[in-house]
Amino acid sequence: MRKIAAHWQIIIALVASVIFATLLKQFGDAGWVATFLKICDLLGDLFMQALKMIIVPLVVSSIIAGLAGMAGFDGFKRMGLKTLAFYGITTLSAVVLGLVIVNVMQPGLVDGQPNAELRQVFDNSGEQLSDEDKARFEEGQQEKAKDWTSIFKRMFPPNIIKAGAESQLLGLLVFSLLFGIAMTQFPAKQMQPMRDFFQALNDVMIKITQWIMVFAPVGIFGMMVVTIHQNGAAVFQELGPYFVTVLIALGLHLFVILPILLKVIGKINPLDHFRAMKTALLTAFSTASSSATLPITMRCVQENAGVSKQTASFTLPLGATVNMDGTALYECIAVMFVAQVMGMQMDFAAQMLIVISALLTSIGVAGVPSASMVAILIIMNNCGIPGANNAIYALFIVDRLLDMTRTAVNVFGDSCAAVVIAKSEGEQLYQNDKKAF
Ligand code: ASP
């Protein structure tokens, strides 16, 4: 029997989950519905946790194996500068795009005046959130709502084992980079066992990723049924213009800005790249987590696009940690939207403060669902926007679909950097007939 391609399997799972979740609603609170949802939840959790399980060894081994294969420190420095420059350009263009769209569409205003109905939605939103969700949100907030300097502190975790245990990618990344670079400073023969070890570890992790992906349609189906079933909140309707604004801006970044950059800077055909990345994009969309998607992104970039291990293992973990175009764009729109609803005038200086805050905080946002909510709250408080706490609840309730979309944009942005840098290093791309997924 012919095997259905992985991306089709995921698409079928997504469609089936929408149908099932809609049907389930017809049965209300019947006892078996709760059991079915529990099983779906379990399947979704198993899939997500399996992906997360391999992130730490995968990131560490691929960075170290990749760097150890690089010709000394100069190659690393060149690639590092190029990657950071590309990430800087794409994130800045995303933020500016978000700002332009939100100023043009003004989703928080009606006939030029603050939308009073939305203000009421904000005021009541705390009541719509279950106690459990509130506690979850507040816990995350306390933990991360420190100021932006914490991003820099996280680069050097005092305990690397603890950083691994907490999947603190930024700290692991810096440690692995230092480790790999240090290896290049010794005679090749002396480091050979270490190089072989990390290479072998990386190969094993890739094999496990393949196995986990067999389970992807089932896991995604389970996760999506639960998500769709839970997200019936009434505030959806009222926030319609906001949804449209965010989706238009994300769509423009994904389908216009990034393809133009691919074409102009990398001389790459964007269609080839979309084709190579389709399974990673669908996984990012389904899981709303760029960290959990990282193993799939790495495989798609290496095996479908043809990027070398060195380039992919440097650019992608770095991107999954610090480069979030969709998130930066979203933060900007969310803050401006709340300011509009609350009737706060944002002059040029205030908007520039948002741009800078969105750039900085998007670096520190973790690649997990709804992580940017905390960053949005920090920016709103910095800008002195009234009623920020209530507004954030409203945004949190309707976050999932927007989160899924911005995560796909985040992942695509990282992959664009990988292929553009690979091209500039003279690598041959998109010539592999045997695709990974
Ligand atoms: N869910 C996003 C990601 O994983 C982060 C966010 O914007 O909340 O990339």
CA of 136 to the centre of ligand 1 (A): 16
Closest listed residue to residue 325, CA positions, set 82, 93, 83: 93
Q: 254-268, 362-376, 409-423 — which is least confidently predicted?
A: 362-376
Q: What is the pLDDT of residue 25?
A: 83
Sign of CA pseudo-dihedral 348, 352, 358, 364: negative
**For tokens 């990430």, what's the residue?**
87
Q: What is the pLDDT of residue 66?
A: 82
Question: Residue 196 pLDDT > 90, yes or no?
Answer: yes
Per-residue model confidence as pLDDT tens digits over 359-376: 988 888 888 898 899 889
Q: Is the CB of residue 285 less than 8 Å from the CB of residue 404?
A: yes
* Ligand 1 atom at minimal distance to the Cα of residue 410: 9
CA of 144 to the centre of ligand 1 (A): 14
* Ligand 1 atom at minimal distance to the Cα of residue 368: 4
Q: Is the CB of residue 294 less than 8 Å from the CB of residue 55?
A: yes
Summarize the confidence of residues 231-256 as an average pLDDT: 86
Q: What is the pLDDT of residue 284?
A: 96
Q: What is the pLDDT of residue 105?
A: 96
Per-residue model confidence as pLDDT tens digits over 204-236: 998 999 899 899 999 999 999 998 887 755 566
Per-residue model confidence as pLDDT tens digits over 375-395: 898 899 888 898 888 888 889
Question: Residue 1 pLDDT > 70, yes or no?
Answer: no
What tokens does 333 get? 């729109």
Q: What is the pLDDT of residue 205?
A: 92
Q: Which of 30-34, 263-267, 343-347 has the highest average model confidence (pLDDT)?
A: 263-267
Q: Is 369 in the pocket of ligand 1 (CB under 6 A)?
A: yes
Question: Residue 406 pLDDT > 70, yes or no?
Answer: yes
Q: What is the pLDDT of residue 190?
A: 92
Q: What percent of the chain has pLDDT over 90?
A: 57
The residues, any chain, with a CB within 8 Å of residue 387's CB and separated by 6 or more, are: 119, 122, 123, 338, 342
Question: Residue 40 pLDDT > 80, yes or no?
Answer: yes
Q: What is the pLDDT of residue 253?
A: 98
CA of 410 to the centre of ligand 1 (A): 8
Question: Residue 121 pLDDT > 70, yes or no?
Answer: yes
Q: What is the pLDDT of residue 262?
A: 97
Summary mean pLDDT of the chain: 88
For ligand 1, mutation pick of 365, 370, 398 (most atoms within 8 Å of CB): 365
CA atoms within 13 A on the CB side of 329: 34
Q: What is the pLDDT of residue 148?
A: 63
* Ligand 1 atom at minimal distance to the Cα of residue 289: 4
Per-residue model confidence as pLDDT tens digits over 289-309: 999 999 999 999 999 999 998
Q: What is the pLDDT of residue 292?
A: 93
Q: What percent of the chain has pLDDT over 70?
A: 90
CA of 368 to the centre of ligand 1 (A): 5
Residues 221 and 236: their CA atoms lie apart, in Å, by 22
Q: What is the pLDDT of residue 53?
A: 92
Q: What is the pLDDT of residue 408?
A: 98
Q: What is the pLDDT of residue 65?
A: 86
* Cβ-based burial of 330 (10 A; exposed 0-12, middle 13-18, buried ≥19): buried
The domains found in the chain, sorted by start residue, are 6-424 (1.10.3860.10)
Residues 418 and 423: their CA atoms lie apart, in Å, by 9
Question: Residue 4 pLDDT > 90, yes or no?
Answer: no
